[in-house]
Chains A and B, each alone.
Chain A
C-alpha cells in the first residue's frame, strides 16, 4: 500500500470501518510513513476536538423533569387536551369554541328542554322541519270552541270542525287568502306529525265569502261512506274531501301529511 492508497482509506480507518486485512495494511503503512502517520494523528486530534466541543453540552436538569412529567400526563387525555387548548396560538380558537358552545346551550338546549312538553312547540318544530318554514298561527289554542268562535268572527260564516280521532291534538288556526277568499286553516298534531286542513264554506250556505270549488277532473272515491275527492285541487296542491257530516262545508286536506289527516278523518 502506498500513500495514495492509504489516503483512500483514511477516514474509514479513523472510523474503524475497515476490515481486518485492510486495517493491518494501513497500520503497516502508517508505521513506516512518517508523513501519513502525522497527518492521521492531526486528523484524529481535530476529530477529538470536535467531539469534546459537542460533548460539553449537557441536557438541562429541567428537561429530564419535563419529560417524566410529560410521560405521566400522557395517560391523562383530558389534562393534555386542556393544556393543548390553552397553549399560545390555540387559545383564541379555544375561547371561540367555548363561546359557541355557551350560545348553543342558551339558544337551543335550554329553551328546548323547557318547551319539549309543549304541544305547540312540538308542532312548530315538526312543521318547520317538514315545510322548512315557520308555522304562522293567528290563534294558538287547544280549545275547539275558541277556535270556532275566532274563525266565525274572521270569515263571517259558521264553521264546524270535523270530528277527528282522539289521538290528534288541536294546535291552533290561521287564516290565509287563496284567490281572494279567506280560508280557515286548522292545525293539529298527531303523535309527532303535524297535519292541517282547510275549511271552505259552501257558497249555498250564504256566507258570501266563498267561491265554488271546482271538483272537475278529480277522482271521487268512497271512504267509510264519505265522499273523498283526490287529485289536484282548489289551490293546486290540495286534496279535496267532500265531508258528509259537515253539511254545507268542504274540508280540503292540504298536502302537509295528507295521508295522516285522511286517516284521522276516517277513524271517526
Chain B
C-alpha cells in the first residue's frame, strides 16, 4: 500500500468531520480536497509521519480555521474555557437527571436531531466533540491537533457534551418525548 493510499483510507473520517464543521457539502469537498493535496505535497518530501490520522486532522482543522471560520483568532492559552472554569463547572450537577436519561427518549431521537444539535454547537466545541467522541482521539492528541493545552481540551469536551445534551433535551421536549419523565 502506497503512502497515498494509506492516507486516502482516512477519507471518510475526514469527510464526515469536514461536513459537520463546514455544514455544507461543497465546502466539505473543498476542505477534504485541500487537506489531502497539502498532505500529498508534504509526503513528496519523503518525510515520515507517525500518526497519520492525527496529522491529517491537524491539517483539516487548520484549513478549516483559515478558510471558513469567520473568527480566526488564535486559540489563546488562557481563555474563557480555562482549566479553572472547567473545575468550577465540575462542581455543578454533572449527572443532573435529564430527560435524556429515559432510554425511550434516546431511542426516539432522530439522526436529524443529533445532527442539528451538533451543528448548533460553537465551532471550538464541535471540533473537540467530533475529535473525541466520533474519531476517538485522546485528549493529548486533540491538544496537538487543535494546538491547545490539554486542560482547555478537557474543558471544551466537558462543556461541549453538556451543551449537546441540553440541545438534545430541548429537541426532545419540543417534539413531546419523555413527558412522563417530567411528571
Identify the stretch in A10-18, A109-117, A138-146 within 8 Å (CB) of chain B at 4 or more residues.
A10-18
Select which of A51, A60, A71 is within 8 A of B133 by beta carbon: A51
Instruction: Give bound CA distance, A54 to B134, whole Å.
Output: 7
Beta-carbon contact of B40 and A58 below 8 Å: no
- Set of chain A residues within 8 Å of B139, measured between Cβ atoms: 15, 17
Identify the stretch in A40-48, A87-95, A217-225, A244-252 within 8 Å (CB) of chain B at 4 or more residues.
A40-48
Are A59 and B15 also in contact (CB < 8 A) when A8-B90, A47-B133, A71-B4 are? yes
Instruction: Give bound CA distance, A77 to B165, whole Å.
Output: 49
Beta-carbon contact of B41 and A64 below 8 Å: no
Beta-carbon contact of A46 and B165 below 8 Å: yes
CB of B88 closer than 8 Å to a CB of A: no
Beta-carbon contact of B40 and A71 below 8 Å: yes
Instruction: Give bound CA distance, A50 to B101, whole Å.
Output: 15
Beta-carbon contact of B16 and A64 below 8 Å: no
Beta-carbon contact of B103 and A15 below 8 Å: no
Instruction: Give bound CA distance, A57 to B15, whole Å.
Output: 8
- Set of chain B residues within 8 Å of A83, measured between Cβ atoms: none
Instruction: Give bound CA distance, A58 to B18, whole Å.
Output: 11
Beta-carbon contact of B33 and A67 below 8 Å: yes
Chain B min CB distance to A7 (Å) = 4
> Which residues between 18 and 53 of chain A lie within 8 Å of chain B, taking CB atoms?
36, 39, 42, 45-47, 49-51, 53
Beta-carbon contact of B114 and A58 below 8 Å: no
> Which residues between 23 and 69 of chain B lie within 8 Å of chain A, taking CB atoms?
25, 29, 32-33, 36-37, 40-41
- Set of chain A residues within 8 Å of B14, measured between Cβ atoms: 59
CB of B164 closer than 8 Å to a CB of A: yes
- Set of chain A residues within 8 Å of B16, measured between Cβ atoms: 54-55, 57-59
Beta-carbon contact of B118 and A74 below 8 Å: no
Instruction: Give bound CA distance, A115 to B164, whole Å.
Output: 77
Chain A min CB distance to B95 (Å) = 5
Beta-carbon contact of B106 and A46 below 8 Å: yes
Instruction: Give bound CA distance, A50 to B168, whole Å.
Output: 11
- Set of chain A residues within 8 Å of B20, measured between Cβ atoms: 54, 57
Beta-carbon contact of A49 and B114 below 8 Å: yes
Identify the stretch in B77-85, B153-161, B174-182 within 8 Å (CB) of chain A at 4 or more residues.
B153-161
CB of A191 closer than 8 Å to a CB of B: no
Name B90's closest neighbour in chain A (CB-CB). A8
Instruction: Give bound CA distance, A16 to B140, whole Å.
Output: 12
Residues of B within 8 A of A (CB): 4, 8, 11-12, 14-16, 19-20, 25, 29, 32-33, 36-37, 40-41, 90, 94-95, 100-101, 103, 106, 109, 111, 114-115, 118, 129-130, 132-134, 138-139, 154, 157-158, 161, 164-165, 168
List, sorted by A's number, 26 A–B pairs whose CB atoms are closer than 8 Å: A7-B95, A11-B157, A11-B158, A17-B138, A42-B100, A45-B103, A49-B114, A50-B134, A51-B133, A53-B118, A54-B16, A54-B134, A55-B134, A57-B20, A58-B12, A59-B11, A59-B14, A59-B15, A67-B8, A67-B33, A70-B37, A71-B36, A71-B37, A71-B40, A74-B40, A74-B41
Extra contacts besides A36-B95, A39-B101, A50-B129 (8): CB < 8 Å? A7-B90, A12-B154, A16-B138, A42-B101, A54-B130, A59-B14, A63-B11, A63-B15
